[in-house]
Structure 1
Amino acid sequence: MRRIAVLDIGKTNAKLLVVDLATGAEDVLARAPNAVRRDGLYPHHDMDALWHFVLSGLTLAAARGVEAVSITTHGAACALVDAEGDLVLPMLDYEHDGPESCAAEYEAVRPGFEETGSPRLPVGLNLGAQVFWLERAFPDAFARVRHVLTLPQYWAFRLSGVSASEATSLGCHTDLWNPGEGRFSSLVSRMGWESLFPPVRKAAEVLGPILPEVAAATGLPAGTPVLCGIHDSNASLVPHLAKAPCGVLSTGTWMIVMALDGLAVALDAGRDVLVNVNALGQPVPTARFMAGRELEEIMTGRIVDPSERDLRAVLAGRVMAMPSLHPGTGPFPGKRFGWIGGEPEGGARMAAASFYAALVGAECLDLVGAEGPVIVEGAFGGNLAFLRMLATVTGQVVRGSGAGAGTGLGAALLAGPLQAEGPRPVDVLPETDPVWTGYARAWREAAARW
């Protein structure tokens, strides 16, 4: 196969792109916000609008002669469908606090970290907590559920008519999966949910051809295969599975920090550390930080490019952003965001925010025992201030992917190997200037006291 249509549904934005496996080129054909609706029973994603986007995007992809459809989406999301394949309830926004209303009851039945590699997370970030709450809050509707479909597999189902479960999404801090044994966790049997999850299929498996109505609506050939699909952070990991040992940062709204063949370290569930599952079904030590969201909030949406003068001013003045704007997530739980050395503006503010993201990212790498070069995929892959500070504090070469998402290529690679090397990533070496190394050391000391 050469040209693969990739549906990439992130927490903030949705994209439809075509990846050329002969060249590695990615072409984004359509983009739309992944809006959260506030009407109805609870905050939820607009699946009707997304379905219209999917069909419109695939129509554009059909004109490119694509040969398969692959899907990647954010985690902590599932669709509850009935026997006809219709949604029983709206797809819950994982930032809604509804599941907190039965947190004590859920805590009593969820498995421990040693079984699932999944820490107890707030709101709906544990998918098991979402399903638990939905069953209790809406029992009549829940009684009609035929399948619980994690999000990539829901869209694969909409396109192919075939239902499936898949390990990268089930292993994404859901409490539903035992990554060490490669099977559902005891929570699923304890709650009597076994029949609600379809058979587990590999991310790269073809579920079937597109449905006739999808072919008619988009112009795709009737036999176009639909792949099972993959969790987005693990899509970013696919191109690097053979490059271990290394650390991989998949960046967007979240920064997901993964260690491939790193040091054996005790994972600290209290610092937003968990066990992910890669496309091969293997456990991957992982740490998380809401880096993209926090950078946007620090900059109030006004992202700028800091100059070298901005960088030097922040470094020399030891102007530091300290964790964190979302204290319920990340490696510094409970700590509240603040500034040391004054609150900067403009390019200096962007420099300080980028350094902050890099230093928290480095903390995440330490927590998961990452060794070797550090690969940065996604939005932060083109942020040179971030890359330079990350290299300096880790003492490792950092390879920035540019601003590409990384998820698109990884999802496309499920359909077949890349036939040519893509653009070489930017290699950033650690800074040796004491103004850089001193800043990194001072930030870490301040964070320990913060």
Structure 2
Amino acid sequence: MTAPFRRIAVLDIGKTNAKVVVLDAESGAEIAAVKIGNAVLRDGPYPHYDIGALWNFAIEALTGFAAAPGFDAVSITTHGACAALLDADGILALPVLDYEHPYDPAIRAEYLSLRPDFSETFSPSLSAGLNLGAQLHYQKKAFPDAFARVATILTYPQYWAFRLTGVAANEVTSLGCHTDLWLPRSAAYSPLVDRIGIRSRMAPLRSAFEALGPISAAVAQQIGIGAEVPVYCGIHDSNASLLPHLIGRSAPFAVVSTGTWVVSFAVGGDMDHLDPGRDALANVDAYGRAVPSARFMGGREFEVLTKTIGEIPPEAAEQALAGVVERGLMLLPNVVPGSGPFPGRTMRWMNDEGATASERSAAASLYLALMTQSCLDLIGAGGRILVEGPFALNRIYVAALAALTGLDVVALPGSTGTSLGAALLTGIVPKTAPARLQEPSPLPSLSRYRDLWIAGARA
């Protein structure tokens, strides 16, 4: 039964940008949206997110949307590898740490002796603070006085739910996102929570689909809402992208969620042969089930490449594609080091003498498709591939992915599926939006190109 909501406001905080959108419950379409950059502050004990600016942005956006177009429920989605540490008064005891911060090697070495084995957590050992357990251990060791004041630890979407409602919670999609803190197959905390002494501080577990409460009276007055508006627990952003496809679809199939990170999910894929050394892992979906996954920082890589190559019209890159494939002009991993299926590699161009900007742009799109195919292979993906997010608009990427895998690839409309996935937590059942199916495409010499690229990537 559909919940009696007409419009859902979603607070959507990604690693690069934050936005607040309003979605129509019947169609699932975004009918209003505002966005800001997600700044990292360099003051204080370590790089951290500008929580004050994000909160002011959210309140201003909700205030404006309360007037028009209106909303009658709120949901939340954020990036992973992040937690908020609150004192007994519900105030941050330490800043919310940026997961890209590299910290003291001695503390990291100690943490590596504490973390459970991949066979238990399906969480690979990642760089900097990409394992949330590593962040918490670092904060406890480096800032013992501040950490001693921590009364409650919240996963990041649930921190924003707490700010809106005053209700503290944790949720499994964020706990199951390469944190080292969760056992996906037994749906329980890992031994790490006791090894670093935080079990008693972890907020109660609640379902992503659960309304934690109405917007608090103080916040409701601030944004100009009279009636009670429920706030839903919230969800990790890649899992928000996955959720719409879990409803009414049978395995096997794959979802490629593109943003700062390109995260590939293989529903019905291979959980028994995941390679933690190549950034393959298990995520946990909104229903608490383990899903084999693999990832690389594709959106960040494309941003870096665009700054170097320049903004190229899609048509110009598409016209250059055949020549790029024929001459073997290619980009090898990694543009952004430290993650993905080819760790430890440093980017380099091959056969790029005299290459034009259009040719480099086409090769960059092929690079992203080849990296994605490598991720899908690692997790045993089968069936139809659903691409959501910005890369769904990249015609070279979508066509190449279909040709490389030999599978149907569906490019989903809209800039991101995270907001829709978060809105679905409220129980709405929107109409299915049209999608673009890309049949396997016989791009010239692509199998040879792929073989050369894989050989170069592994060299």
TM-score (norm 2): 0.95
Which letter does structure 2 place at the counterpart of 1:346? A
The structural deviation recorded for 1:99 is 5.4
CA contact (8 A) 1:81 1:147 kept: yes
1:436 matches 2:446: yes
Amino acid at match of 1:87: L
State the match for 1:156 in structure 2: 161
The alignment status of 1:261 with 2:268, answered yes or no, reads yes
- Paired residue for 1:390, among 390, 393, 401? 401
Residue 21 of structure 2 aligns with an amino acid whose one-letter code is: L
Secondary structure at 1:299 match in 2: helix
8 Å CA contact 2:271, 2:282 repeated in 1: no
Equivalent in the alignment of 1:13: 17
Find the aligned partners of 1:346 and 1:362 in 2 and give their Cα distance: 24
- 1:279-294 equivalence runs, <5 A: 279-294=286-301
Question: Once the 2 structures are TM-superposed, how far is the Cα of residue 36 of structure 1 from its aligned partner?
Answer: 0.3
Distance 1:155 1:45 in 2: 13
CA distance in 2, matches of 1:287, 1:419: 29
Equivalent positions of 1:234-383 (< 5 A) are: 234-241=239-246, 242-243=248-249, 244-263=251-270, 265-300=272-307, 302-306=310-314, 307=316, 308-342=318-352, 344-383=355-394
Instruction: Specify which of 51, 58, 63 is matched with residue 59 of structure 1.
Output: 63
State the percentage of identical aligned residues: 51
Aligned equivalents of 1:303, 1:28: Cα separation in 2? 27
Q: Matches of 2:168 and 2:331 in 1, distance apart?
A: 46
User: Hey, what's the Cα distance between the residues in 1 that align with 2:270 and 2:85?
Assistant: 39
CA contact (8 A) 2:345 2:457 kept: no
Change in CA separation of 1:403 and 1:300 when aligned onto 2, cut-off 3 Å: farther
Instruction: Assess, with a 3 A threshold, how the Cα gap between structure 1 residues 345 and 87 changes in structure 2: closer, same or farther.
Output: farther
- Counterpart-to-counterpart distance in 2, 1:99 and 1:281: 34
Question: 1:406-434: per-residue Cα shift (whole Å, max 9, x none)?
Answer: 10111001111323222x11111111243
Deviates more, 1:387-396 or 1:296-305: 296-305
Give, as a single letter, the amino acid of the residue that structure 2 aligns with 1:42.
Y
- TM-superposed CA distance for 1:59, in Å, is 1.1
Give the counterpart letter for 1:436 in structure 2: L
How high is the TM-score relative to the length of structure 1?
0.97
The 3 A distance-change label for structure 1 pair 383 and 6 is: same
User: In the comparison of the two structures, how many residue pairs are matched?
Assistant: 448
Q: Does structure 2 conserve the Cα–Cα contact (< 8 Å) formed by 1:62 and 1:219?
A: yes
Provide the residue aligned with 1:78 in structure 2: 83
RMSD: 1.4
From 393, 405, 424, give the equivalent of 1:413.
424
2:403/2:443 contact within 8 Å kept? no
3-state SS of 2:445 partner: helix
Q: Within 1, Cα distance between the matches of 2:104 and 2:224? A: 41
Q: Determine the structure 2 residue equivalent to 1:175.
A: 180
Give a deviation string over 1:8-60, Cα, whole Å, max 9, x none: 00001000001112012113421000000111211110000000001011112
Change (3 A) 1:239 1:148: same
Give the partner amino acid of 1:138. F
1:201 paired with 2:211, answer no
Which of residues 115, 125, 133 is equivalent to 2:138? 133
Decide whether the 8 Å contact of 2:271 with 2:291 is kept in 1.
no
Between stretches 66-75 and 95-104, larger displacement belongs to 95-104
Aligned equivalents of 2:319, 2:138: Cα separation in 1? 51
Q: Write the letter of the residue equivalent to 1:106.
A: Y
